[in-house]
Amino acid sequence: MSRTINLSKVGIPAILFANAILLVCGVAQADTDVAYNLKRTRDALLGQRQELLNAQHAVEVQLNQLQQRNDRINAYLRDTDSSLRDVETALRTTK
């Protein structure tokens, strides 16, 4: 009792069903590709963020060093100005 499938009755719905399965699989693959690309983009952005944080830290260290140097120079200027006033005062009293 062999049965033959009549393609004219079953063929078109079967082809449409097969195409629908392929379309769903293609959409699923596209979703996977999109998710993969988004993850790669996220990873690249996280790497870039870390590099920027490292650069920011290096600049902050340099700024702190420069601020300390500026504070020392200001202290020397205050001392120099004070000494200059003392010398000018002494000069005025000797005249």
Q: Does pLDDT of 23 surpass 80?
A: no
For residue range 38-64, list pLDDT tens digits in order: 999 999 999 999 999 999 999 999 999
**The residue to which tokens 């920027």 are assigned:** 52
What CA–CA distance (Å, rounded) separates 30 from 52? Answer: 33
> pTM (2 decimals)?
0.55
What CA–CA distance (Å, rounded) separates 29 from 88? Answer: 86
